[in-house]
Structure formats: C-alpha cells, structure tokens
Amino acid sequence: MGDFGVVADVSAIVVDRLTRALEGLSSERLFAELHDLSEPVQADVPKLTVFLYEIAEDPTSRNRPPVRSLPPDPPTTRKPPMALLLRYLVTPWGGDQLTQHRMIGRALQAFYDDAILDGEELAGSLAASTDALHVTLTPLTLDQKSWVWYAIQKPYRLSLNYEIRVVNLDSLDVAALRLVTSRTINGAQRP
C-alpha cells in the first residue's frame, strides 16, 4: 500500500527501469528522466523523457470492502485505498533518428518483458509491499496523441503511451472498532 508519495514513487520506478534498459545500447550514457515538458528538453545527449500526463481512478477497483487491521494492532477499519491509473508519455530526445528509434525499441522491449513490476523492483512507499504494478502500452489514435501534444503546446513527436495500474493510494479515514466484550440475550415469553 502506498502513502501520499506513491505517485512520485511509481514515477521513479519507471525512470529507473527505463534507465537500466538503456544500458549498453550506445557508447554514450543513455538514460531516462522525469520531465513535465513545460520547458524545452536539453537534448545534448540522447535520453528518454517520462511525462506523467494523466492520473485517473481505476473504475474496475471501485466498491472494494474496507480494510481491517490485523492483530496485534488495535482493531480498526479503513476506507479501501484509492486505485489509480497513471498514464505516461515516453519520448526519445537527442541523437540521430536511429538512436531515438533504438531507445523506443528498448523501452518497448523492457516493458513487454517485464510488464508486472513487483517485489524488489518496487521502491519508496511500495517497497516490501505485495502490490504489483501492471504496465500496458496504451493504444492511442493519432488524434488522441496530437491532443496530448497540443495540450502541452509542443509539436508532435514520436512517443509511447503507457498506463500503469493499479497504484493504491491509502486512505487516511480510519475508524476504531469496538470489540464485543459481553452480550445479553433476552428471551421473550410466549403467551
């Protein structure tokens, strides 16, 4: 389960995974970096930018039951975590077209081969949790891709769109449960 920093933690995991995937691809040190694309990307060396462009609630995870604490903790109940979908735009920058295409190919390969991030791959508030992040290449039409680039006021570039689900954001709404210590049963007399 994740605290309020879970979105930042997932972004860092994605950047780390892509940076590891780019190792050995070129004689230059290739890497991925988190970037909001609001400023020009410094393309002095080839790199992949990772841009979180949308956060949405996962509709398939709604109406989950409350989470109850386990002994020996005091008995509590907590609203179920908010299940999030994070949508990322992965874009190559710098170098020549072939280098950019190789970086895109390596990103595709990395998330195809390791489409479920779990266990030791998780860091931050997700470290040592039983959560699993499912990484899916999201098909967008050319119009949808153009809309994303138009929204950030940049010219269209070749990029990949990935969706990561389910990112659980813990609720702070915790209620104490009262234990039943005794009960009384009153039997009604029949006439």
CATH of the domain at 91: 3.30.2000
Q: What angle do CA 87, 38, 82 make, to 5 degrees?
A: 30
Let me know: does 37 contact 159? Beta carbons within 8 Å: no
Task: State yes or no: cis peptide before 166, omega within 30 of 0.
Answer: yes
Q: Cα dist. 187→34, 182, 184, 190 in Å?
A: 68, 16, 10, 9
- Give domain status of residue 87, yes or no: yes
Measure the CA angle with vertex 60, ends 120 and 167; round to 5°: 30
* Residue 71 included in any domain: yes
pLDDT of residue 95: 85
Residue 186 is assigned to a structural domain of this protein = no
Which residues span the domain enclosing 53? 6-173
Contact (Cβ atoms closer than 8 angstroms) between residue 13 and residue 121: yes
- Note the pLDDT of residue 52: 95
Residue 162 to residues 43, 69, 137, 156, Cα–Cα distance (Å): 22, 34, 5, 17
Tokens 């209620």 correspond to 175
| Three-class DSSP category at 158 | coil
Tokens (6 digits) for 83: 């299940």
Largest separation between any pair of C-alpha atoms in the chain: 95
pLDDT tens, residue order, the chain (191 aa): 568 889 999 999 999 999 999 998 887 889 999 999 888 888 888 999 999 999 999 888 777 877 777 777 778 887 888 889 999 999 999 888 999 999 999 999 999 999 999 989 999 888 888 889 999 999 888 888 888 888 888 888 899 999 999 888 887 777 777 777 777 887 777 76
Residue ranges in the chain assigned as alpha helix (H): 6-22, 97-113, 142-151
State the pLDDT at residue 113.
Answer: 96
> Which amino acid makes up residue 119?
G
Helix axes 6-22, 97-113, angle to 10 degrees: 120
Given this model, what pLDDT does residue 134 score?
A: 95
pLDDT of residue 108: 97
Residue 134 lies in a domain: yes
pLDDT on residue 145? 86
Within a domain: residue 46?
yes
In a domain, 191, yes or no: no
Answer whether residue 66 is part of any domain: yes
Quote the Cα angle for 2-18-168, to 5°. Answer: 15
| pLDDT recorded at residue 42 | 87
pTM > 0.75: yes
For the chain, the domain total comes to 1
| Domain membership flag for residue 129 | yes
Distance of CA 184 to the CA centre of its chain: 50
